[in-house]
Structure 1
């Protein structure tokens, strides 16, 4: 069996990986897994490690970190020269939100995840690619879980300023604080829907949520019908409404019940284009991409990422060893 590359971010969730390292390594040892443990030393290092992993002979990358670390690793995988030797992804969740780990089933005990890595079965899922322009400068980014424009991205900025909170509580508090001063912005939105038809929306928009998975913000189901392997991205658009009404939608969004409100509309899309002359904040997988993007182009890349299939493999190797 080829060795596993563990990319462990020591700064994720205020250093939680340091407390989890021994536990994860015991789980890998119990599964008789061969692995190399690497801790990124500077911003972008995780992407570089992931980019070179396939050529170095690794068949699996296991991320010990949060959504930001996972996203950086995915971006590294997308930059690799040979996609035919792309390692399969797995996650030991150690972040503040762990939304993608939840969507892909990696919230089980470490010993079960380690067993899944040894069993070795994987599946293909979609990812998104965004190209955004701000002040004539362009950047390209891949996202595996979600992308947000407007209020959702402004909430990410606020969440980074809050200490001692995690998960859905962190993002709920950040959202409430953001609502106090955030204003809707004039946007023009155009998307190619699942049926090939074009949908256009324009006006004063509070936020746009693009989901590859249902969950974002530590537990909010803003795009509750999104699926990782359907070849589509789900887009939710919230028009300008009163802050009081928006606050009332916040608890409903935990369970995906906000979609019944007429101010929130959902589409399944292949491609999305958003323009905002004044500039609008954008995040991908919980990482701020721009505070004032003016043009945003998004598309789905079907089946572009391989992940270990915990649905059928969880704990298989451990059970065989004990049996």
Structure 2
């Protein structure tokens, strides 16, 4: 039987890997696959590489990088015409947070993650997951319009200045953005969904395709703890960003059993589709990547979208 064909997409700037580690990974994968290795050279390159793999009958696409690399590759794989014809995805964690890999139950380290993937291939083990879609772009675990996206923007700007991505950087960025960078008095966002009353005057909106939303170091952060790859999208929105109510919601999210509630909180579970409209441009992020400002985004759940080796 001919070896399975695989493409390894490497982000050479991945935070937690070295050239030596990448060489070890390549040798391990070549024991199982007819392997091609490609390094991403610019933003969006992972999408092009994965799209070509989907078009040329590659069996598995393996990513070595962070959540941004995974997102790009997933968008390329979804160019495949059907679930059965799309290459399966295998994720080796190499970024600073690796939310998607950890949500799948994979170990944090790339070496341990590689072992799990090779084990799963020998056992024929995989799972099929749903994705979220924002307009024409897919996401694996989260999206946001408003405050959380503006924090992502601030962190990306700090990293461009040479700062290292750490939990402390995210915390400082969130605090600075809340006090210095947000119009807390004039909520701009409205959520509309078919057959339901609109939810107006929302200050910020978080969308999850799985739980957790993110990690702060080893701690899972879970605004919507019931979110799942096997269901539709979950939403948590805040009507206001006044300090007392926001502090209360944050403490609820960080609790051992997160279940944020209150007059300022809007929660939706297992939603198929909805649209966010804003009266002024709002920061927008998908899977932890800042994508500019938007005044309108349509979200849909895409069930049974992708096979994942895990």
Fold agreement, TM-score > 0.5: yes
The secondary structure found in structure 1 opposite 2:172 is helix
Show structure 1 runs of 5+ residues with no match: 132-139, 311-323
CA distances 1:194-234 after superposition (whole Å, capped 9, x unpaired): xxx5242112x22111100112343421221100012x100
Aligned to 2:205: 208
Deviation of residue 59 (structure 1)? 1.1
TM-score scaled by structure 2?
A: 0.85
The secondary structure found in structure 1 opposite 2:212 is coil
Deviation of residue 122 (structure 1)? 2.3
Aligned to 2:229: 228
Q: Distance in 2 between matches of 1:96 and 1:271?
A: 31
> Which of 6, 9, 30 does residue 7 from structure 1 map onto?
9
Structure 1 residues 20, 221: CA separation in 2 closer, same or farther (over 3 Å shift)? farther
Show structure 2 runs of 5+ residues with no match: none
Q: Distance in 1 between matches of 2:11 and 2:99?
A: 17
Aligned to 2:146: 150
Deviation of residue 305 (structure 1)? 1.5
Aligned to 1:267: 268
TM-score scaled by structure 1?
A: 0.82
Aligned length, in residue pairs: 292
2:50·2:77 contact (CA, 8 Å) conserved in 1? yes
Q: Determine if the alignment matches structure 1 residue 162 to structure 2 residue 158.
A: yes
Aligned to 1:175: 174
Deviation of residue 107 (structure 1)? 2.1
Q: Distance in 2 between matches of 1:251 and 1:8?
A: 38
CA distances 1:41-76 after superposition (whole Å, capped 9, x unpaired): 222221111112133232111110111010000111
The RMSD of aligned alpha carbons is 2.4
Aligned to 1:241: 241
The secondary structure found in structure 2 opposite 1:257 is coil
After TM superposition, list the pairs within 5 Å mapping 1:1-323 onto structure 2: 1-13=3-15, 16=17, 18=19, 20-25=21-26, 27-28=28-29, 32-81=32-81, 84-107=84-107, 109=112, 110-131=114-135, 140-163=136-159, 164-166=163-165, 168-181=167-180, 182-184=182-184, 185-192=187-194, 198-203=196-201, 205-218=202-215, 219-230=220-231, 232-255=232-255, 257=258, 259-268=260-269, 269-291=271-293, 293-308=294-309, 310=310
Structure 1 residues 275, 72: CA separation in 2 closer, same or farther (over 3 Å shift)? same
Aligned to 1:316: none
Deviation of residue 299 (structure 1)? 0.7
The secondary structure found in structure 2 opposite 1:16 is coil
Q: Distance in 2 between matches of 1:92 and 1:299?
A: 27
The secondary structure found in structure 2 opposite 1:54 is helix
Q: Distance in 2 between matches of 1:34 and 1:251?
A: 49
The secondary structure found in structure 1 opposite 2:203 is strand
Structure 1 residues 215, 282: CA separation in 2 closer, same or farther (over 3 Å shift)? same
Structure 1 residues 169, 306: CA separation in 2 closer, same or farther (over 3 Å shift)? farther
Q: Distance in 2 between matches of 1:216 and 1:282?
A: 15
1:128·1:143 contact (CA, 8 Å) conserved in 2? yes
Structure 1 residues 71, 148: CA separation in 2 closer, same or farther (over 3 Å shift)? same
